[in-house]
Amino acid sequence: MWDKLEQVEKKCERLEQELADPTLVKDQARYRETVRAHAELVEVVEVLRIHRKLRQELTEAEELSGGSDELAQMAKEEAARLKQDLAESEQRMQHLLIPRDPHDGKNVFVEIRAGTGGDEAALFSADLFRMYSRFAESQGWKVSLYDSNATELGGYKEIVFQVSGKEVYRALKFEAGVHRVQRVPTTEASGRIHTSAVTVAVMPEVDEVEVVINPADLRVDIFCSSGAGGQSVNTTYSAIRLTHLPTGIVVQCQDERSQAKNKAKAMKVLKARLQKAKEEEQNREMAADRKSQIGSGDRSEKIRTYNFPQNRVTDHRIGVSLYNLEGFMNGQISEMLRKLQEADQAAKLAAE
């Protein structure tokens, strides 16, 4: 571990020298990449330097603790405290050395789709959208609607939106999968509990250079926007549907009144989907690496159950149940997200 830490320190120092070069800002792409790379390393280096200082202080304290006078007793107590601080700093360094997901700092596109359960699944899709929106608001993030297919009861057959802010993908990436709800639907007269399912996809926004799409591989369809029940929302032909012919992936956007803006937004989502599909294929080919993950992120995997009669939300990947479902649905999901991140870190440390 120490050799690796010294390499990290040297790389951090080299990046600091590059950032001090006034000519670097002329190349904005390289400048942004250098800033990002430095930010990922600087915390590790700071902890390493604190650890070195603690080791030096421990050596000095142990040298003074050999006697039987009051000063020696104080040195012994100080040495005991320093040993505990050293153990904690070593543990922190181990966690910081876990390879960082390169997407963690990115904005995300979230797609929520109603699965089994008809109108009830569509209503729960709307509940999840509200849950994520309120959580985003609590974090100071921005939510931008890209596309939606609303139902007459106020649900969504599907809804696509972007969440932008600091470390969004790191927080939300484990939300991908099947979310199951167990409750009495508002449309159920007999009071019988129904089980419905909704799929969630979480895709990091990709940079322009990461995914290049050949225009010849695209079919572009233009149509009028529509709302619940087919009701016209925009009588101009501004909605855009993009079909990527090699993969069959279809994306549409109708939130903006401008055809150009809708096409630009649809292209962002398409690139994110293509990148996600590419990474999922790579994950399937690298089954050993998947052992270090708490969940595959595959939308076919049931990850969580929301049981309203029991006021319970259970994440099946980590076996954690919380009994504050009302608060959870109002965006108070930080505790579950933290437990998922901790479980992922522990799994990766065990795999080292």
Of the CATH numbers 3.30.428.10, 3.30.70.1660, 3.20.20.10, 2.40.440.10, which one belongs to the domain with range 108-210+293-351?
A: 3.30.70.1660
Q: How confident is the model at residue 301 (pLDDT cuts 50, 70, 90)?
A: low
> Does domain 215-283 bear CATH number 3.40.50.1820?
no
**Domain residue extents for the chain:** 2-96, 108-210+293-351, 215-283
Report for 67-71, 109-113, 237-241, 283-287: range of highest mean pLDDT: 109-113
pTM: 0.68
Q: How confident is the model at residue 2 (pLDDT cuts 50, 70, 90)?
A: confident
How far is residue 133's CA from residue 130's CA, in Å, rounded to a whole number?
5
CB atoms inside a 10 Å sphere around CB 59: 11
How far is residue 77's CA from residue 73's CA, in Å, rounded to a whole number?
6
pLDDT (mean) for 139-164: 93
Q: Residue 233 above 70 pLDDT?
A: no
At residue 150, the pLDDT reads: 92
pLDDT tens for each residue of 85-141: 988 888 787 777 777 777 888 899 999 999 988 899 999 999 999 999 999 999 999
Q: How confident is the model at residue 352 (pLDDT cuts 50, 70, 90)?
A: low
Report for 40-54, 243-257, 312-326: range of highest mean pLDDT: 312-326
Q: Residue 298 above 70 pLDDT?
A: no
Three-class SS of residue 240?
Answer: strand
Q: Residue 289 above 60 pLDDT?
A: no
With 0-12 CB in 10 A as exposed, 13-18 as middle and 19+ as buried, what is 172? buried
How far is residue 223's CA from residue 339's CA, in Å, rounded to a whole number?
44
Question: Which range is least confidently modeled, 87-101, 115-129, 172-186, 308-322?
Answer: 87-101
At residue 178, the pLDDT reads: 94
CB 275 within 8 A of CB 206: yes
Residue whose pair of structure tokens reads 């008809």 in the numeric block: 118
pLDDT (mean) for 44-67: 87
Q: How confident is the model at residue 312 (pLDDT cuts 50, 70, 90)?
A: very high
Contact partners, residue 11, CB within 8 Å, separation at least 6: 41
At residue 293, the pLDDT reads: 42
CB 120 within 8 A of CB 194: yes
CB atoms inside a 10 Å sphere around CB 68: 8
CB 173 within 8 A of CB 132: no
Question: In angstroms, how far is the first alpha carbon of the chain from the final one?
Answer: 11
Report for 35-44, 205-214, 229-238, 276-285: range of highest mean pLDDT: 35-44
